[in-house]
Amino acid sequence: MSRKGIPVEERLIFALDVPDADAARALVGQLGDSVRFYKLGLELMMAGGYFGLLDWLVESGKKIFVDLKFFDVPATVARAVARLRNRGVTFATVHGNQSIMEAAAEAKGDVGILAVTVLTSLDRGDLDDLGFACAVEDLVLSRARRALEAGCDGVISSGLEVRRLRESVDDRLVVVTPGIRPVENRSEDDQKRVVSVEQAFGNGADYIVVGRPIRDAGDPRAAAEAIQQSIATVFRT
């Protein structure tokens, strides 16, 4: 289990996947102090008002994970990452080869760079479609090793691979685990490689990312509080 000195209430990152900044502010207000760490992704970026929302969250005392999965010419990625410095951003994601990860790491300043290993929406069949002949776990471990060599601070990894990652790569890496499902996964859910809150942290994740199970709940705040309670229980035992 993660031994990093992370406040327990900050180990939950809520994926603020809503149509626009107004909806985001309303949901943040509803969640109150039940969530302290927010992930801002592509949907909000395309809706406009992304950086105004980011600044508002930082001013409200929240931590920020910029999840835009930068993938471009290394120099372009470096300039994009540099734009996030000194804005209160804790993490940002890259999704590319060695030179892209190295460029992001060199430009990061006070931003922690997280490399995507294998998206939790992909399974063995999807990797076949993409031309990867190796097992999912082998690809995750390979990408994690390369991320560490490139100077990244951590990785995005399914909870299914975190235990092997901790054993085979390096405990210094920050591991952020999406694909968390506190309840049984629905057939229409596009997340395929999922784990529970307890499994993720038991396997060694430092943070979990939760979106729909909170956002789509009848009472989002109560759902967030229930997950926070589960996390607190894990770290008390």
Q: Concatenated DSSP letters for 31-68?
A: HGGG--EEEE-HHHHHHS-HHHHHHHHHHTT-EEEEEE
Q: Is 78 left (phi over 0), alpha (psi -120 to 50) or beta?
A: alpha
User: Pick the catalytic residue: 4, 39, 62, 69?
Assistant: 69
> What separation in angstroms does the CA of 133 have from each of 123, 141, 165?
12, 14, 19
* Distance from C-alpha of 21 to C-alpha of 202, rounded to nearest angstrom: 34
- What's the rounded Cα separation, in Å, for the pair 90 and 23? 23
Residues in a beta bridge with 113: 92
Residue 69 known to be catalytic: yes
- Please, which contacts does 172-175 make with residues 24 or more away whose CB atoms are closer than 8 Å? 172/148, 173/144, 173/147, 173/148, 174/4, 174/91, 174/112, 174/114, 174/206, 174/207, 175/2, 175/204, 175/205, 175/206, 175/207
- Pairing between strand 207-210 and 112-116? unpaired
- What's the start-to-end Cα distance of the chain, in Å? 11
Active site amino acids: 69
